[in-house]
Amino acid sequence: MVLATGTRVKGLPQAGLELNQTSVISSDEALLLEQAPKSLAVIGAGAVGCEFADIFNAFGTQVTLIEILPRILPLEDAEASAAIARSFKKRGIEPLAGAKVTGAKVTPKKVTLEIEVDGKARTLEVEQVLVGVGRALNLENLGLEAAGVKLTDRGFVQVDKNLKTTADGVYCIGDIAGPPMLAHKGSREGIFVAELIAGKQPHPIRYDNVPSVTYCHPEVASIGLTEDQCQERKLEYQVGKFPLTASGRARASNETEGFVKILRDKKYGEILGAHIVASHASEMIHELAVARENEYTVEEVELTVHAHPTLSEAVAEAALDSLGRVLHL
């Protein structure tokens, strides 16, 4: 048996924002709206929050993006987060980081939010609120305890390196097996378990090498460690960075917002992390995912001939920059 029940949307009851499918909605209802609201507050500025802020802004909605942590996209590299915040502000999206919703008055046609930002109180009235502060695990009424399936302290299903639970013959994949809570991670786990059950010896999943993507404009894609994490671990690292303003393809396409940033181990050239802000970052990140999976160094990435003109040339240039040898900047 394979448990793969996934997650569901949830509201923010502690702030008075229970989902009502009219004025307080989730990402589910947002996809079914027949018209865009004039004003929208998005609670939570992770990937989901930023993606929907971007979408509704494109439809002409006045969007306020509210994040309790010090910056939007808090799990991404700080430079990537700052780049998206600047881009959003340029387009009229108001990102409020370090902001807490302290109260809400909800009616079917509008919501009045009480917000605390940098210690100051503020009132915000909007037509709709979109709650994007995470998802609830679908674990109720499955009979897990009776079957001997244990949970972790964080409420996920406890699994070993082969995704086997604490009950004989029961495996678990996807969101309920633990982070990262991403569709492509769950899909890979499904393939892994299917091959294992079929008697094969599947390649172990490297959870530190699962790419993350935020599908806003420009896109944000990342893999491995952020610069803050490198510093926390006291790693000796070198930064290589290449702006898209110096990319011929980006200039020809008029999509020059963003950069490619590579963090390499100072001694051995190992790619510790990579962060891309670009119009097609979701496509570009996989070169670096393959490199990390096969333990290529930045030198080996740079030695690969990149077609010209392409956005992926920026990856090679960032690799070169980490070595102090950038060519086209």
Same domain, 131 and 144: no
Number of domains in the chain: 3
Q: Count the helices and strands in the chain (H runs, E runs).
A: 10, 17
For β-strands 259-265 and 237-243, DSSP reports them as antiparallel
Q: Which of 205, 227, 262 is the last residue of a domain?
A: 205
- Residue 159 token pair: 């699994």
At 278, which CATH number? 3.30.390.30
Q: Which of 162, 183, 205 is the last residue of a domain?
A: 205
Could you give the CA distance from residue 6 to residue 181 in angstroms, rounded to a whole number? 9
The reported pLDDT for the residue numbered 327 is 85
Question: pLDDT above 70 covers what percent of the chain?
Answer: 100
Residue pair 110/82 in contact by the 8 Å Cβ criterion? no
Could you give the CA distance from residue 35 to residue 228 in angstroms, rounded to a whole number? 41
Could you give the CA distance from residue 214 to residue 182 in angstroms, rounded to a whole number? 11
Q: Is 266 within the bounds of a domain?
A: yes
Residue with token string 């989901």: 48
Could you give the CA distance from residue 233 to residue 15 in angstroms, rounded to a whole number? 36
- For residue 51, give the H/E element and its range: helix 47-58
Q: Is 80 within the bounds of a domain?
A: yes
User: DSSP state, 226?
Assistant: -
The reported pLDDT for the residue numbered 20 is 93
Q: Is 93 within the bounds of a domain?
A: yes
Same domain, 160 and 198: yes
Domain span including residue 111? 7-135
pLDDT at 118 over 90: no
308 is catalytic: yes
The reported pLDDT for the residue numbered 14 is 87
Residue 107, Cβ neighbours under 10 Å: how many? 10
Sequence-ordered list of residues with C-beta below 8 angstroms from that of 145, at least 6 positions apart, any chain: none
By CB atoms closer than 10 A (0-12, 13-18, 19+), residue 49 is: buried
Q: 236-286 pLDDT, tens per residue?
A: 999 999 999 999 999 999 999 999 999 999 999 999 999 999 999 999 999
* Catalytic-role residue among 217, 280, 286, 308: 308
Nearest to 33 by CA among 6, 59, 10: 59
